[in-house]
Chains A and B, each alone.
Chain A
Amino acid sequence: MRKFSLIQLVLVVAVSLAAYAPAFAGSLDVFKGESGVLKISGGTAHIPVMKDVAKKIMVINPDIQISIAGGGSGVGIKQVGEGLVDIGNSGRIATEEEISRYQLNLYKWAIDGVAPVVHPNNPVKALTKTQMIDIFSGKLDNWKMLGGADRKINVYTRDEASGTRAVFWKKGLDKAQMTTGAHVVVSNGAMKSAIAQDPYGVGYVSVGHIDASVAPVALDGVVPTIESVQDGSFKIARGLYSNTKGEPHGLTKKFIDFLYTTDGKKIIEQRGFIPVR
């Protein structure tokens, strides 16, 4: 009787192990047995993906602590270069000078579009590129001229350390001088809530951040979506990078490697970005 129950117990354990196996197997296996702290900061476009990955890892292994902070691409590069964090994210490629000064290793893991956005109630949901340049440079300053309400256009932009701003300025505005009257916000998240609050505002966010609270604006007839960014018809796009100082190792390396696995790519896709093959 006793023996039998032992066999039963073994069986139960074996069966349950088999049942749990798929959850343990796969890309997250490498994190088993690891412990330590991983600090990430920088680009705010990256944050949704970073959070999802961190959550997955920390559920599997509570001994790993991952902290994620924003600050913008400039901050990410600076902080990783100075050894304050393990991974510094940037939504732009680090400059030659930054790479050589900090001995950075760049890992591009996704492609992201930067889309102009307005409040969902705004009737103006399509612009030509010229109109957009005129709006952001302050030449066009009333929604009436575009078929909207007779109200001043409130332009929102990002701070100088923002990679999103750098890309939008270069590829969306053809480096036109942005109006000095533009409101400045400090992250993709803050931009989204500012536009979601202001029915007469216009700004730009990473395509991965667009949800029902803001409406993307079609540019020259092309609606910014994952598909249009992927097939290249929506032109304002950039890479998302994770940077390390020197060669990554240990937890840092495993984290970055995970972004290139099937599971990692699935998260990247779910968050509205195009994973790098």
Chain B
Amino acid sequence: MKKIGELVAERAFFLSAVASSSITIGILVFMVFMGLPLIREGGGYHLLLKSWSPYQGSFGIYPMIVGTAAISFLSLAVAFPVSLGCSFLIATIAPKPVSRGLRRIIELMTGIPTVIYGFVGIFLVVPLVREWFQSGSGMCVFTAALVLGIMISPTMTLFFSDSFDRIPRSYLDAADALGASHVQKLLYVMLPAAKKGMLNGVILALGRAVGDTLIALMLAGNAVRVPASVLEPARTLTAHIALVIAADYESPEFRSIFACGVVLYLFTMAVTFLVRYISYAEDRKP
């Protein structure tokens, strides 16, 4: 009896795994299929490396690719030190009650909808950036990356502090016994031991940053030009899809957003594979 139950459960789990992975692949196939006519017509080259001016019949998404990369990596650069500091505080320095309280607050932060971050960003960060730098409108790569960085840092912090918590107690005790300072303990014991878990946190946060639509749409200014500096407006692929989806279904503009989807998909996939590879290579080191 028990054996049958086990067999059924095994099959059910296997099927659900197959289903969810085939949905992931199915989405990619669908987007490639929908984007194929345009890729064939204009060539992938035009699509990926030309600029966007639909009235001139040019549907390149190059500026959006640059915008996405700039905003997401910059936001990672904002979020990483913040998250590292927070998680180190929670895991090591702060006394138990404080660190527990901090953790609760950060858990709460992960649940705040992005639109609220965007909303606060518009009324708080945009005017500040405009007046600090005395240039532009304040809706720019920098503002979007700053707010996006704050948005993704709670997720990252939780991942980091979880991987710090998994470090064997004996390592930390050894460091303490040798009279290591907090910083030395972080640099020479905790970071190397928690590297893999932290990489996972970074991938997940980067995925959120690349996939986020609302903050970029509200704060980055959406200009269709490759930004010359971080104080210039830019448009991300996701914001571009949101803006163009309103156009006519039959138009080439509309069809080009499937190409954006494919690029976005491959972009996240490439980053994930890269980071996985790094952690794999790390494991194989003697």
Contacts and interface: CB of A to CB of B under 8 A. Distances in A.
B232 interface: yes
A34 interface: no
Interface stretch (A11-19, A67-75, A226-234, A254-262): A67-75
Contact of A181 (B53, B56, B233, B244): B233
B177 interface: no
A174 interface: no
B147 to A, nearest CB: 16
How large, as a class, is the contact surface on chain B?
Answer: 20 to 34
Contacts of B126: 197
Contacts of A186: 217, 243
Interface string A152-165: 10100001110000
Contacts of A75: 246
Interface of B: 51-56, 63, 122-123, 126-127, 130, 134-139, 217, 221-225, 232-233, 235, 243-244, 246-249, 253
B136 A182 contact: no
B137 A78 contact: no
Contact of A180 (B130, B136, B223): B223
A161 B244 CA distance: 7
A159 B233 contact: no
A78 B247 CA distance: 8
Nearest to A184: B222
Contacts of A241: none
B223 A198 contact: no
A198 B235 CA distance: 19
A251 B250 CA distance: 31
A239 interface: no
B137 A183 contact: yes
A55 interface: no
Interface residues of A, number: 25
A105 B40 CA distance: 37
A148 to B, nearest CB: 14
Given A78-B246, A181-B233, A183-B223, 9 more contacts: A151-B134, A154-B136, A160-B247, A177-B56, A180-B63, A180-B225, A182-B223, A184-B221, A198-B137
A200 interface: yes
A186 B118 CA distance: 15
B276 to A, nearest CB: 36
A200 B225 CA distance: 20
B225 A181 contact: yes
Interface string A176-195: 01001111111000000010
A113 interface: no
B246 A183 contact: no
A160 B127 contact: no
A175 to B, nearest CB: 8
A154 B137 CA distance: 6
A159 B246 contact: yes
Contacts of B134: 151
Contacts of B221: 183-184
Contact of A152 (B127, B135, B247): B135
Q: Which of B56, B243, B248 has the most CB of A within 10 A?
A: B248
Given A160-B246, A161-B246, A198-B130, A183 B232 contact: no
Contact of A72 (B136, B217, B246, B253): B246
B111 to A, nearest CB: 26
Nearest to B222: A184
Nearest to A185: B222
Contacts of B139: 183, 194
A177 B124 CA distance: 33
Interface string A128-163: 000000000000000000000001101000011100
A182 B235 CA distance: 11
Contact of A161 (B127, B224, B247): B247
Contacts of A177: 53, 55-56
B137 A71 contact: no
B249 A159 contact: no
A197 B246 contact: no
B51 A180 contact: yes
B118 to A, nearest CB: 12
